[in-house]
Structure 1
Amino acid sequence: MKQVRIVPPLVATDVSSAASCHQDRPFDFRGLVADRDGWMACQRGLSLSLSRNVSDVLRTVCDRSFVVRCGVLFEHAPGTRNPTTWIDCLAATEFGVFIIDQYHWRGAVKRSMDEDEVLIHERPGVVSVETSPLRRAKPALRHLRAVLTGYNCPVECIAVLDASHCEIDPTLPETILVLSELPHFMRTRLNRFRGNSLQYLDPQRIAAGLQARCADWGRS
């Protein structure tokens, strides 16, 4: 089998590198990389449907209010070469905070021997290697968990793949999923939280705390 190895940067920790993270985008971002505002506006346009779908799912799961933001930019490492992390969709709920990014890979997405990678079987005889979405989300996950330490708030990252273009290996982590699996995933997290906590979280208070610590709070 011929193997094509594509190794992008380990994490999308700045605006210019984030364009390489989500494959098969319908737009060419190369002309926008130098224009941060233009890039973010274009990226938010692509993430808008994801945010709307997340909101629809949470309306069926949550009894209380929730906050969903489209296109959030966190400064997780100020003063470093890559100080910021882009998040397609951020959801603050009564049972936790979720970093949700979308991917447009094509083919069968399978587990790799390296837990920081996934294998994309694009077509017979062609396999590409991509950094795992969970590895890419680690800087944002680590940053948000530190920011929310005093809230006793679970924080997780979720990768949503396009079911019309790919198949997911069932042995991949449950946080790598297709959109149709998101309602069940959220229900499991709600029930897990109920089993471990005495009272629900305040999403508005959590969102206000996050907004004060981010470079760009995105759009609702």
Structure 2
Amino acid sequence: MFFEILLGVAAWKLLTRKKRPSIGDLFRHKPKDLSAALGEAGEAKAQAKLRDGLTALCGADYSLFNGPIIIEHAPGTDFPTAQIDHLAITPFGIFVFETKNWSGYISPASAPGFLTRTDRDGKAQDRRSPLEQNRTKVAFFRSRFPSLWPVAGAGLLVSEDAHLSPALHSDLLSRGDLSHWLRARRDSYGGMPPVDVGKATAAIALLVDASHAAMEAHRVRVSR
């Protein structure tokens, strides 16, 4: 019996002792935090849904930038860059999407430019609206393109556990709303000369940076 106890203690020490880091551990990237991982998962869902919806409406006549991408919308300021989650170019307009993977009940907040997210336990938290986050990005592209190329923005809430209040602006969408929103944009554009998708894509490519270095530099600025 005494021998079994000794074996048990030895095994416990072996399992619980701290492992000395190896050379590989020293250079291995740290795991991303949960919020970043959830955000990336939400963006992947949004990208897939956008591609399906745009293909159904436009065939191959559209471009969808695989975000996130960076624009320099305010050079010379403390925060000169902004991140865009998704950017779509279609024959009926250019669309900037801000993606959120929020769960809970999403409703208007009392403060302008914010939304209230209420979880299942009734805890409420105000968060900046995706439409407010998109405002300067949409303005940036509008200032650089002809008025015949309409630019609009939308907030895309991709979580299956997100429930949107009917009082929200119609540009705040669930994944299930996206196809209808795109069709409505196409229909409202009817009769206008179509956007030249190739030319618009080439023009936008000169204004955006999809490099890892640009993304990291932007993250450093906003985390200060």
**Shorter-normalised TM range:** 0.7 to 0.9
* TM-score normalised to structure 2 length: 0.73
Q: Which position in structure 1 is the counterpart of 2:187?
A: 191
Q: Which position in structure 2 is the counterpart of 1:37?
A: none
Tell me whether 1:156 sits opposite 2:152 in the alignment: yes
Work out whether residues 66 and 91 of structure 1, in 8 Å CA contact, stay in contact via their aligned partners in 2: yes
Evaluate the alpha carbon distance shift between residue 85 and residue 206 of structure 1 in structure 2; reply closer, same or farther with a 3 A threshold: same
Work out whether residues 96 and 153 of structure 1, in 8 Å CA contact, stay in contact via their aligned partners in 2: yes
Tell me whether 1:209 sits opposite 2:219 in the alignment: no
RMSD: 2.2
- Aligned counterparts of 2:88 and 2:78: Cα–Cα separation in 1: 27
Q: Which position in structure 2 is the counterpart of 1:75?
A: 72
Deviation at 1:113, TM superposition (A): 2.5
Gaps of 5+ in 1: 1-23, 29-41
Question: Tell me, what secondary structure is at the counterpart of 2:35?
Answer: coil
- Larger helix proportion of the pair: 2
Question: Tell me, what secondary structure is at the counterpart of 1:191?
Answer: helix
Q: One-letter code of the match for 1:208?
A: A
Deviation at 1:124, TM superposition (A): 3.5
Deviations 1:136-178 (A, max 9, x none): 1111111011111x25111111111134121100110111111
Question: Tell me, what secondary structure is at the counterpart of 1:55?
Answer: helix
Question: Tell me, what secondary structure is at the counterpart of 1:137?
Answer: helix
Match of 2:130 among 130, 133, 157: 133
Q: One-letter code of the match for 1:76?
A: H
Q: One-letter code of the match for 2:76?
A: G
Tell me whether 1:177 sits opposite 2:173 in the alignment: yes
1:4-83 pair list within 5 angstroms: 25=35, 27=37, 43=40, 47-62=43-58, 65-71=61-67, 72-83=69-80
Identity among equivalent pairs (%): 23
- Aligned counterparts of 1:79 and 1:216: Cα–Cα separation in 2: 21
Q: Which has the higher contact order (CA 8 A, sep 6+)?
A: 1
- Aligned counterparts of 1:105 and 1:153: Cα–Cα separation in 2: 31
Gaps of 5+ in 2: 1-33, 213-224
* TM-score normalised to structure 1 length: 0.74
- Aligned counterparts of 2:175 and 2:140: Cα–Cα separation in 1: 25
Work out whether residues 46 and 158 of structure 2, in 8 Å CA contact, stay in contact via their aligned partners in 1: no
